Amino acid sequence: MRGPFFESSSVFHMAFDQRDERTIYAAVNSFHFGPTIFRSRNFGRTWKQAKKPPRFSEGSGLRVENVWHIEPGHSDESDVVFAGTAPGALFRSSDDGETWDINESLNKHPSRSKWAPGAGGLCLHSIVLDPNNLNRMYVGISAVGVFKSEDAGESWATKNTNVRADFLPTKYPEFGQCVHKLVMDPTNPQHLYQQNHCGVYRSDDAAESWVDISKGLPSRFGFPMAAHPRTSGQLYVVPEEGDFFRVVSNREFVVYETSTAGKRWKKLDKGLPKRNAYLGCYREGLASDCLEPAGLYAGTRMGHVFSSNDEGKDWSVLAQWLPPVYSVSAATLN
Amino acid sequence: MKLNERFPGFWSLLVDEDGSLRKYVNIFVNEDDIRNKAGLATTLKGGDRVHIVPSVAGGSE
């Protein structure tokens, strides 16, 4: 194990750039020196800080509080990287993360004046790119919902049809839902999934509408979600009791799997703590690699990392006694 | 700002988007906190020593 890096800072997310199989981006948030993004091209031996980190325009009255998520761009745009921040904003770099520019279209969306932060703040935590369509992308913002662009970010539309917001007077508002994590089926870009504050959902039509697939899970609440790298309709979640008690459901730190796009769920628990486990998994804390069979990894708020080499059938401790694990990412090298 | 030219990104570690010194960053010129002087507009003269010190505080729990 190498590190620690960025001591005294909170690293909300680390993203491995599969395009060049060597670059790692880190969303580093310092209590003192603010948020920024670092890049390593040698697996963490050295890091370089962004020359111009994500920042709102001077005079906007807004201040980047934290960088929440980093997403490498399309394979055809090797120097493009995206970042999501709190308060909810999308940034784009076209120079491998050296400098970052805000997406003003999303920043000035007509709905913005009505965005109300949740417990995690207005964090833009999910950025999903359609691999078959350079112009189509999605973002997820806590307590606001899912947005979709069909023109490479020039304009955005809310996409929350049939997603519940139990904490609002209107159960199915146009926006205001609290999406916790948004992922895409890697083999079928029309299919997306979200772990929401109020359920787990699937879209079969590129986010135009959503289907509730929470039935079979011990809770509708949770944070992380990971998709299988190759098998369509297969994904994983870690349910928690609820917003009132943020520990894993039934005090068992287990992973639930669906291989039927959410029609049925199966508990994966062999080798995981199943009694008195007052643990939780952050939204970036669940990951899969691209190996065959796929490996799965789950990090906990209490500093454990569990891993499985057989798609979740068996788990073992990979690391423990770490600080809270905010992010788990797997790098698959050829 | 010359430091920022030499070390790009340095200024953003100290200053917010609105141009104000970050809340938990203290800058001293010799022994004087610049917040008690002219803030970021505090002028320097030869021989001055500038200290950039993150705030310290006890735990929150």
Q: What is the pLDDT of residue B3?
A: 80
Q: Does B32 touch chain A (CB under 8 A)?
A: no
The mean pLDDT value of chain A amounts to 95
Cα distance between residue A20 and residue A117, in whole Å? 36
The mean pLDDT value for A232-254 works out to: 96
Residue-range domain boundaries for chain B: 2-54
Q: Write the residue in B9, B18, B22 that is nearest to A53 by C-beta.
A: B9
Q: Write the residue in B12, B19, B54 that is nearest to A36 by C-beta.
A: B12
Q: Which residue out of A10, A33, A66 would a mutagenesis test of the B interface target, given it has the greatest number of B Cβ atoms within 10 Å?
A: A33
Are A146 and A138 in contact by the 8 Å Cβ rule? The answer is yes
pLDDT value at A121 more than 80: no
3-state secondary structure chain A: CCCCCCCCEEEEEEEEECCCCCEEEEEEEECCCEEEEEEECCCCCCCEECCECCCCCCCCCCCCCEEEEEEECCCCCCCCEEEEEECCEEEEECCCCCECEECHHHHCCCCHHHCCCCCCCCCEEEEEECCCCCCCEEEEECCCEEEEECCCCCCCEECCCCCCCCCCCCCCCCCCCCEEEEEECCCCCCCEEEEECCEEEEECCCCCCCEECCCCCCCCEEEEEEECCCCCCCEEEEEEEECCEEEEHHHCCCEEEECCCCCCCEEECCCCCCCCCCCCCCCECEEECCCCCCCEEEECCCCCEEEECCCCCCCEEEECCCCCCCECCCCCCC
pLDDT value at B5 more than 90: no
Are A163 and A201 in contact by the 8 Å Cβ rule? The answer is yes
Are A57 and B16 in contact by the 8 Å Cβ rule? The answer is no
**Mean pLDDT lowest for which of A149-153, A270-274, B35-39?**
B35-39
pLDDT value at A118 more than 80: no
Residue-range domain boundaries for chain A: 52-319
pLDDT value at B6 more than 90: no
Instruction: Look at domain B2-54 and name its CATH class.
Output: alpha beta
Q: How confident is the model at residue B54 (pLDDT cuts 50, 70, 90)?
A: confident
Chain A neighbors of B3, CB-CB under 8 A: none
As for the ipTM of the complex, it is 0.76
- CB pairs below 8 Å between A and B: how many? 43
Q: Token digits for A33?
A: 């020196």
Cα distance between residue A237 and residue A281, in whole Å? 10
Residue A224 — left, alpha, or beta (φ > 0 → left; ψ -120 to 50 → alpha)? beta
Instruction: Name the minimum distance, in Å, from the CA of B13 to any CA of chain A.
Output: 5
Q: What is the pLDDT of residue A284?
A: 98
* CATH of span A52-319: 2.130.10.10
For the sheet with A316-319, list strands across it. A286-288, A296-299, A305-308, A316-319
Q: How confident is the model at residue A322 (pLDDT cuts 50, 70, 90)?
A: very high
Instruction: Name the minimum distance, in Å, from the CA of A33 to any CA of chain B.
Output: 5
Are A107 and A149 in contact by the 8 Å Cβ rule? The answer is no
Chain B neighbors of A53, CB-CB under 8 A: 9, 12
pLDDT value at A16 more than 90: yes
pTM of the model: 0.93
Cα distance between residue A202 and residue A205, in whole Å? 9
Cα distance between residue A296 and residue A282, in whole Å? 15
